[in-house]
Each structure stands twice: as structure tokens, then as C-alpha cells.
Structure 1
Amino acid sequence: MAFRTRIWARRARVVGVRVARLVRTGVAGLVPGSRHVVRAVHRKWRRSLQFRTVLTTLMLAIASFAVVGAYLSNQIANNLFQERLAQAESETRYNVKQVQDTFDGAQVTDQSSVITLVYDTLNAVEGRGSVIQRYVFEAMPDQTKPRNRWVESRASDQLTISVIPTELRTAVQDSGKEQFWASTEFPVGTQDRPGIAVGNKVTFNGTVYELYLIYDLNTAQKTLDEIQNVLLAGAAALALMIGAVAWYVTRNVVSPVSHAALVSEKLAAGQLQERMVVKGEDEVARLGASFNHMAASLQEQITQLATLSQMQQRFVSDVSHELRTPLTTVRMAAEVLYDAREEFDPINKRSAELLYHQVERFQSLLADLLEISRFDAGVAMLDAEPTDIVQVISHVLDGVAPVAAEYGSRVTLNAPAESIIAEMDDRRFDRILRNLVLNALEHGEGRPVSISVAANDTAVAVAVRDHGIGMSQAEAARVFDRFWRADPARARTTGGSGLGLSIAAEDTKLHNGWLQAWGKKGSGANFRLTLPLHQGGIITKSPLQLEPADVGIPGTGRERTLVLLDPSVPEPRLAVGKQHGDGLPNVEGDPDGGAPDGGAADGGTATGTADAGSTGSTGAGTKEWS
């Protein structure tokens, strides 16, 4: 027997473990599904006005039905109970009177007759009345037992005195002839039923008995359940009807709004012929008509503006092309006069020089206008290929060396020791950087200009920092506008066309890059160009900060530095920059980082005018990167 018990216990543990595992697996599968449903409902709630309106209406309707249904159910249950209670009290009084009259008129002296009389009388009470009733007959405790008390207690089938609440028994025992009642439950077969127990006292053969009649409320409970089911079904049907009505009404209101949103998106995408469908004469129809009128007006204005823009672009392009031929002739004549200016008197010599420089400026302006017209026409193409950024920057610095010498600005390049290869159009990058450097020299008031280069995993950045007059935030926001000048009264001294930064911004857009400006009055300005390393790449963060932390813009990691021009050197000398162990170049012939022949060098920085492999500039030298 013990062996079988252990086997069954082991089997029970195995079954329990398997059931727990299944429950855990089911719960683990339900949690993600429930989260997905909750997220879907939340997303639908945020994005759909119709869904939000219908769901809110249903929730309010269900809450209202719940309150009203609970109130009605409570009232109906209370009325049914009060009706059954009044009936039970009335029938109990009548039955107790009949029992007491029967006991009082009985002429029995033997035990068998007494038991038969009590049994028959109580059975007659159980079958009498319109409501099924049962009884419990019990002699009161603490009584002197007479010789002829042959009946102590009696009850209907399956009933005992325990089904009578203690409070009711106490009230009956302590009373005289009053009648008391209490709610109770009593067993019928295998289930418990609700009922009302009504108690009284009766006397038989000198013994006082407690007589409790129990009335079955199962019929009333079934009636209440049916009423509640009807209320529930009616509430569900009404909720569905209200939801359907709310859906239909909101659909009639939301559908035109959704259609208007769709038409607005198409209009924003350039489909100016799209219009709303107008039906009826109500407020929604008037909204659609007004929307269509607005769309037609916008289409007309946009068409006019597009036509004017095309005419402007065509005019600029045509004029620029038509001016190229006479400008070439004028330039040739100006070059002849400029070359022969030494043979002229001072007045004519100055006139020849002015003519030559203004023709050069006019040709630059014409070239910029042609480039802008290509951008406006959308025909500008990007010819990207892998390019060493530092080499292009060195070429730009060689080209602007004469301008830097003219202004007396010290130009410094800070770049990483290793090469930075990026996919870009080197011609457009050269033009962007040249515009930024010339702009810094023009507005730098002869103060130092620094160029910093840095790269990360996705982008490369070049920052051009000057310490000149600076500009405000409002001016920095407009600095890339065409022909915009911070000070219209200020004369141009470098022959700029006013389109350089605008063209630079357009070139940057072709590269899918950023061109940003920072400035502060009296502290100079900083222009930051950020380009993706690979064509089609997305820039998430620039390797250089836009607002300088201090006077200079430090590079990152190991650096190589070239001072393009130092006005403190009386005569430019040949300078060869070599990589120091600390990341800075050193002048050849001075291992300690000093400047040869009195030239100034700070931290291993080569001083002089440098030319990246070319000798076309006055006082130019050569430089070498290690």
C-alpha cells in the first residue's frame, strides 16, 4: 500500500510540473500578444478620430447602461423580495395559528398518538400555501422536561436547526408571541437555495417549541435572473446600435475631413488639379466648396509664380549667354590695354587698371549667374569620386595665398595626420571652400584665419574661422541668401558677386551635406561644412562643433598644421613641414621646433608662405607632409 502511494505521489508531481510548464508557456505567449494588441489600439486611438469617437461613445453608453441596469436590477430584486416577505409573514401567521389550535384541541395521551399528531400537523403546514415552504420544529432549550414530552425536534427532509440563523433563534427565544424573520440558505439536493425563515413559538403538552417556516425564493431568483439577462441583452443590443449610429454619424463628418487631408497632401505634393467632391448644401458641403475655391486660387497663384520664375530663369540664362560673346571681346581689349599700361600717362594707366579689374569682376559675376541658372533649372549634376580632402584644401590655400598676403592675414590649416578620403565632386568642393576662405579673409580685418578638418565614421567636416567683424544670429540666418549684404553701404574690395555663399549652399545640397554659419559681433564668424564620406550617406552628427569653444578651433587626434602666411616674417622663406611625434609638423633643419633664421614657430608650426607642390605664387615655397 505504501509503495502504491509513493508511485501515485510521484505521478502527481510529474503531472503538476507539466501543467505548470504549460501554464507558464501559455502566459509567456499571451503577454507579447496582449502588448501588441494594446499598442495597436493605442496607435489607432491616436490616429483615427472616428475610432476615438465611436469607442468613447460605446464606453459612455456601456457605463450608463451599467448604472441604470444596476439600479433597475436592485429595485426589481428589492420589490420581489418584499413581495415574497409579505406573503411569507402572512402565511406564517395563519399556519402558526392553525398549528397552535390543533395542539390545543388534541386529546392524546400516549407516545404514539403524540408523535403522529405532531407529524401530521407539521406535514399539513408544509403542503399548505402558494409558496413552497419547509419547517423546523425544535423544543426550546433550558426547559424542565415533562414526563409526556415525546417529541424533541422535527424538520423537513435534509433540514436541521443549523440552517436557522443564530440571530433569528435568539430573537424568537427571547420574545413572547412576536414573529421574526431572516434571510437564509438551505440545501435542496446538491445545491443551496435562497430563502426566508420566519420564526414563532407554539406550545404543546406544556412544552414550548420553536417553529420556523422556511419559504423557498428560488422561483423569485430565477425571475430576477431572467430579468437581468433581458436587461443585459437589451443593453448589449442598444450599445451595438449606439455604436453603429455613432460610426455612421462620425463617418459622415470625418470622411470629408479625411478626404480634405488626402487632397491637401496631394496639393502639397504638386498635384494642383486635385479637388474635393462636394455633395449637398450643408456645412460640410460649404467646407468642401471653400476648400476647392482656396485650392483653385492657390493653383492660379502658384502657376503664375512658376511662370514668372521660369521667365526669370530663362531671362537670366539668356542674358548671361548673350553677354559672354561681347564680354570676351571687351576682356581681350581690356587685357591689351592692361598689358600696355606702362606706356600710358598716369590717368590713362589707372583707367586701364580699373577697366581690367572691373571686367574680371563682371566675368566672375556672369559665371556665377550662369551657375545659379543651372541650379534653378535643376540641371546641376554631381560628379562624385573618391577624393583626398586635405589635398583639395591645400590647392585652395595655394590659390588664396595672394589674397591672404594682401590682407595680411595669417592662415592656419589644422588637419589629421592621416588622409581623409570622401566621395565628392572635387570641383564643387574646391569652389565651396574657396568661397568660405575668401569670405573669411575679406571680413577678417587682417586677423588670423584658421581652417580645421575632422572626420568620423559617416562624415567629414571643414570649419573656416575668422576673427573679424563678426555677425549677429539674424545675419547668420540670411548669410546664404542671394545678393544679401550685412552692410549695404560697405564697398566690396575683392570683386565678389554676392552669389558665392549661395552657390556654396547649392553645391552642399547636391552633396546631401550641411553648410552652417555662426557669428558674434566683434568675435568673428565660423562656417562649418559637413559632407557624408560616401555618396548618398546620411549625416547624423558633425565631427566639428559649430560654435567655437575658444579663439582657435582645435583639431582632433594627431594633427598636422601649416601656416600659410605670417605677416610678421619680412620676407617669405621656404618652409618644409614634417610630422612631429606629437602630431604637429616641425620645420626642417630644426629638430627642436624652432623657426629658422628668426622665423616664428609655435609648438612645431612651420612659418612662411607655402605652396603645395607649385611655384606660381610670389614668395611661395614647397611643403611636404610626412
Structure 2
Amino acid sequence: MSTALKRALLAGLRWTSLRLRLVVVFALVALTAAVSVAGIAYWLNREAVLTRTQDSALDDFRQSMQSRVASLPLNPTQAELQRTAEQMSALSARPGYSVLLVDSRDDGKPVVGYSDLDEFTLDNVPPKLQEQVNREQPVSGGNAHPYHLFWMRTQLDGAPYLVGGAKVIGGGPTGYMLTSLKQERDDLNSLAWSLGIATGLALLGSALLAQAAATTVLKPVQRLGDAARRLGEGKLDTRLRVSGTDELADLSRTFNRTAAQLEKKVADMSAREEASRRFVADMSHELRTPLTAITAVAEVLEDEADSLDPMIAPAVHLVVSETRRLNDLVENLMEVTRFDAGTARLVVDDVDVVDQLTACLDARAWLDAVELDATRGLMARLDPRRLDVILANLVGNALKHGGSPVGVSVRADDGELVIEVRDHGPGIPAEVLPHVFDRFYKASASRPRSEGSGLGLSIAMENALIHGGTITAANCPDGGAKFTLRLPRDVSPEPGPDSGPDTAAVREGS
């Protein structure tokens, strides 16, 4: 799967996730509001319905007790209680309304009259309610009567009922009433179902509204994300179309201003970088001619140094040495400008790697200082001049900054050419390792003073990269530093003409 496709899928997942979060938040808010409203409405309606029902039933019961039970003779018979209870039940318009009248005798035996013996008996009256009804209250300024009407809601055979009771003041029967609340329960259940359906519809509506709101909000955000990705990919002319005056419009305007400033700064930096490259290239070319002449004169002076005054000879050797260093620096700068300008090209050929390495060491008189571990006949298709530059820099760096012996091993590994250059010196400090291939970087605090330009390893890396390979640096467990060069054994050169003779001199240890 390509990187672009993965990035697109991840962006789509993030977009969907944000949309899902918005929808969920909207739905939760709507659900909370709907459930709260439905719960409050149900509770208010329930209390109103039950209060109205019980007030009506208790008022009827109180009036019946006052008009009928109070008119009964003292110590009424069971038949009189029975008849009165039936009359009280018949006069009520409520369905399932039953009355129970209880009177006591001197012998302690109660006389009970039922309106419906199958529906309501004394066993159906909760003991707590009986205790409250028959308890005589002290008469005071705040309580004018010794007995009061009490009621409670109860369950009989799983059905809701209202039970009330009162005692005739001044002596007389105690009355109890029972009325069913089934109709009210059914009405409240219907109300609960209606509120539940309304809550579900509200939740569905909120989800649809959330979807629409998410689309409205996320579409500009998605455009902003796409624009930011294009900007990150280097398309600095990316701009957003701005409409409206809301926060997203302000964000789009800010993005456009930032993109414009970034484009301007990148253009300025590119112009300055291009000017710097031209300056370095022009300076290097301009210096080559006088340096060639100075180098020739310095070489003549070096040849005649033995015949010069002993006081002058050291100065001649110093001039010759510094002239060579300056010539090396100019050549390195010219090589760097080719890489920066993108004009460096490969000139590949079939190369015997071991012969090439041997020739590199022999040309610099390093054969006696290097231990070579390689088998002849290892062929690779690459640029021999650039391979020479890489090897010279790596081996020269090991000889100059490492410790003897310096070993070079060559092997083939799964279609790659692997060359390792190892020394037995103090190694490379951990804080220096990430920077050894940086331009002009010198670890002077940890190694002897470098006489190079600080470009050698950087140029070696550039030459490895143009082959499609790389160089890594590491420290060996038993001491010393190791540089590993990996190159493909069959390099295909990029199309296009070479930038010229490309005759950068080898800079060992720069």
C-alpha cells in the first residue's frame, strides 16, 4: 500500500471519527434533555392524576361517613352496617369502590359490614393504617378532633389500590374504603409509552440534526486539512476559498495568510540559497586558475627546499601544505555545489571492486597501513571515480583520526556491496555520531585537530546516496570506529548529461 493511500485512509478514519463523536455528543445531549423532560413530565402527571383520584375518593368517603355512618344508631347491628356499607359503595361513581364498616361491642367482639366480601375485608387493610385510624389524638389548639382520616396506597394481588379509613367522632363505627387505581396506572403507562416514543423520536431527530451539523462543520475542516497536507507536500501556492464571518472563516483567512508568508519566506530562502550556491561555485571556479599557478610554484619551491636557507625551508613547506589544503577545499566546494544544484551524474561501469580498492590505496601509499580482507573477482556496476572518492575519504579518515591497525573488508550481501572500514582508535563520542556526515562538522574536542575542511565524509555520503546506497557510522564493542558502506551491485544511472568533468579530488579525512 502506498504512503499516499495510507495517509488518505488515515485522514478518512480521523474524519469519520470526528463526525461520529459529534453525532454521539449531539445524541447524548438530546437524549439527556429528552429523558429529563419526559421524566419530569411523567412525575408531574403521575402526582397530579393520583392526587386528583385520591382526593376525589377520600372526599366521597368523608361525606358518606358524615351523612350515613354518623346517623346509625349506637351499637348498630351487623345488618345495619352491611346495608350502610352497600349504600356507600353504590353511591360512589368510581369503579371498584368498596366499603368496610367495623363496630365494637362490650365483649370485645367486632361487628363488620361489607359492601363486597370477596373484594374487601379487614385483612386487606394494612395493620399500620388500622393503628393510625383507631389512635386517639390529643385535642389541642392545633388539633380540634381526636380522630382523623388516614390513607395509603397499597398493592393487592399485584394491582394498585387506595385504602382510606376514619372513625366516627363521639362514638360510632370505624369505616374503611378501598378503590382501585388500575385505570390511573393504565393511563400513566400509556403516558410513559408516549413519552418514550417522543424521546426516541427526539433522539432520532437529534441524530439527523447532528449529521447535518457535522457535515456543515466538518466540510470546512476537511478542506483545511487537505490544504494543510498539500502545503506540507510543498505546494506553497495552496489557498482556501473563504466565505462568511464565523470562526472557521477566520481560521481559513489565518491559514491563507500563513501560507502566503511561508511561500514568501521559502522563496526568499531559496533565492538566498541559490545565490549562495552560485557564489560558492563562481568563487571556486575563479580560485582554480590562480590556485593552479600557486600550486605549481609551490611544488617548484618544495623541490628546491633542500637548497634553500634553513630559515626559509620551514616557511616553504608551510606554504606548500596550506596551498594543497586550499586547493582541496576549493575542489570539495565545487563537488558540493554539483550535488546541491542536482547536476551530479553517475558514469557507471563494470568494476572489479577489490582492484578498485587496491588502486585507491596504492595511489595514496596506504597499502602498508591497511589490512585488506577481500576476495578478488567481486564485480559491481557503479561509478568508479565516485567509489574512489568514498573509499579515500573513509580510509583516510580512519588513518588520520583512528588508531592502527585500520582494516577494510569487502563482501557481497543479498545483491548489495558491503565495504567496512574499521580503526582501533578511541571511537566516536555518542554526541558526535549523529553529526559525522554533516558538512563542516569537526569533533575537535574528542579527536586530534582536524586538518581537513569538514566536507570529506559529507561528500562520501552524497556519493553513496547518488548510487542508491548509504553509509553508517558506529562504535565497535572492543574499541574503535566502524564505517559501513552499502551500495547496490547494479546501479542504473539517472538520465541526463553529466555536469562536466567532475574531477573533484579525493579528500581523505576532510
Instruction: Report the TM-score range of the alignment, normalised by the length of the smaller protein.
Output: 0.5 to 0.7
Q: Distance in 1 between matches of 2:479 and 2:457?
A: 17
Any residues of structure 2 matched to 1:36-75 within 5 Å, and which?
A: 48=18, 51-53=20-22, 55-67=24-36, 69-75=38-44
| Residue type of the alignment partner of 1:86 | D
Could you say which residue in structure 2 is the equivalent of 1:193? 159
Give the structure 1 partner of residue 401 of structure 2.
443
Aligned to 2:395, the other structure's residue is in SS state: helix
What amino acid does structure 2 have at the position aligned with 1:155?
D
Give the equivalent residue in structure 1 for 2:69.
100
The aligned counterpart of 1:183 is 153
Identity of aligned residues (%): 25
Q: Which residue of 2 is the match for residue 294 of structure 1?
A: 258
* Residues 216 and 524 of structure 1, relative CA distance in 2, 3 Å threshold: same
- The one of 376, 391, 412 equivalent to 2:340 is 376
Instruction: Please name the residue that 1:606 is paired with.
Output: none
Partners of 1:480 and 1:289 lie apart in 2 by 42
Q: Could you say if the C-alpha distance between residues 101 and 287 of structure 1 is closer, same or farther in structure 2, counting changes exceeding 3 Å?
A: closer
Q: Which of 484, 505, 515 matches 2:461?
A: 505
Q: Could you say which residue in structure 1 is the equivalent of 2:97?
A: 134
TM-score where L is the length of structure 2: 0.64
Separation in 2, partners of 1:375, 1:508 = 12
**Hey, what's the Cα distance between the residues in 2 that align with 1:443 and 1:336?**
27
In structure 1, the partner of 2:241 is 277
- 3-state DSSP class of the match of 1:402? coil
Q: Which residue of 1 aligns with 2:505?
A: none
Q: 1:149-548 alignment to 2 at 5 Å?
A: 155=116, 163-169=124-130, 171=132, 178-186=148-156, 192-200=158-166, 211-229=175-193, 231-232=195-196, 255-310=219-274, 313=277, 341=303, 345-346=307-308, 368-369=332-333, 371-378=335-342, 395=358, 398-399=361-362, 402-403=365-366, 431-444=389-402, 449=406, 462=420, 464-467=422-425, 473=431, 475-486=432-443, 496-509=452-465, 511=468, 513=470, 515-516=472-473, 526=481, 528-529=483-484, 531=486
CA–CA distance in structure 1, aligned partners of residues 127 and 483 of structure 2: 92
The amino acid across from 2:92 in the alignment is G
1:70 alignment partner, SS class = helix
Counterpart CA distance in 2 for 1:119 and 1:299 is 103
Which letter does structure 1 place at the counterpart of 2:481?
A: N
SS of the residue aligned with 1:155? coil
| Residue pair 2:469, 2:485 contacting (<8 A) in 1 also | no
Distance in 2 (alpha carbons) for counterparts of 1:487 and 1:332? 28
CA-CA distance at 1:52 after TM superposition:
3.7
Q: State how 1:2-81 maps to structure 2 within 5 Å.
A: 48=18, 51-53=20-22, 55-67=24-36, 69-81=38-50
Structure 2 counterpart of 1:168, one-letter code: L
The aligned residue for residue 501 of structure 2 is: none
Contact 2:295 2:320 in 1 (8 A): no
Distance in 2 (CA, whole Å) between partners of 1:280 and 1:135 is 72
CA distance in 2, matches of 1:355, 1:312: 29
Instruction: Tell me, yes or no, if the aligned pair for 1:335 and 1:356 is still in contact at 8 Å.
Output: yes
Tell me the secondary structure at the aligned position of residue 86 of structure 1.
helix
Name the CA distance, whole Å, in 2 between partners of 1:478 and 1:216: 92
Q: Please tell me whether the aligned partners of residues 461 and 470 of structure 2 are also in contact (alpha carbons under 8 angstroms).
A: no
Aligned-pair CA distance for 1:269: 0.8
Q: Residue 4 of structure 1 aligns with which residue?
A: none
Structure 2: distance between partners of 1:82 and 1:463 = 98
Q: 1:61 to 1:422 in 2, by over 3 A?
A: farther
Give the root-mean-square deviation of aligned CA atoms: 6.0
2:57 pairs with one of 88, 93, 106? 88
Deviation at 1:441, TM superposition (A): 2.0
C-alpha separation in 2, matches of 1:62 and 1:215: 37
* Cα deviation, residue 426, structure 1: 8.2
User: How far apart, CA to CA, are the structure 2 residues paired with 1:322 and 1:181?
Assistant: 115
- Per-residue deviation at 1:265? 1.6
Q: Which runs of 5+ in 2 are unaligned?
A: 1-9, 137-145, 492-510
CA distance in 2, matches of 1:455, 1:60: 66
Please state how far the C-alpha of 1:502 moved relative to its aligned partner: 0.9
Seen in structure 2, the aligned counterparts of structure 1 residues 125 and 142 have a Cα distance that, compared at 3 Å, is: closer
Contact 1:45–1:52 (Cα < 8 Å) also in 2: no
What secondary structure sits across from 2:59 in the alignment? helix
Whether the 8 Å CA contact 1:134–1:156 is kept in 2: the answer is no
Instruction: Give me the whole-angstrom Cα distance separating, in 1, the residues matched to 2:85 and 2:113.
Output: 14
CA gap 1:154/1:480 in 2 versus in 1, 3 angstroms: same
Secondary structure of the equivalent of 2:365? helix
Q: Give unpaired runs (5+ residues) of structure 1.
A: 1-39, 109-113, 203-207, 537-626
Conserved 8 A contact 2:346-2:383: no
1:80 Cα deviation from its structure 2 partner: 3.2
* Equivalent pair of 2:99/2:120 in contact (CA under 8 Å): yes
**Contact in 2 for aligned 1:171/1:180 (Cα 8 Å):** yes
Q: What is the rounded CA distance, in whole Å, between the counterparts of 1:367 and 1:262 in structure 2?
A: 45
The change in CA–CA distance for 1:124 and 1:140 in structure 2 (over 3 A counts) is closer
Q: How many residues align?
A: 461
TM-score scaled by length of structure 1 = 0.54
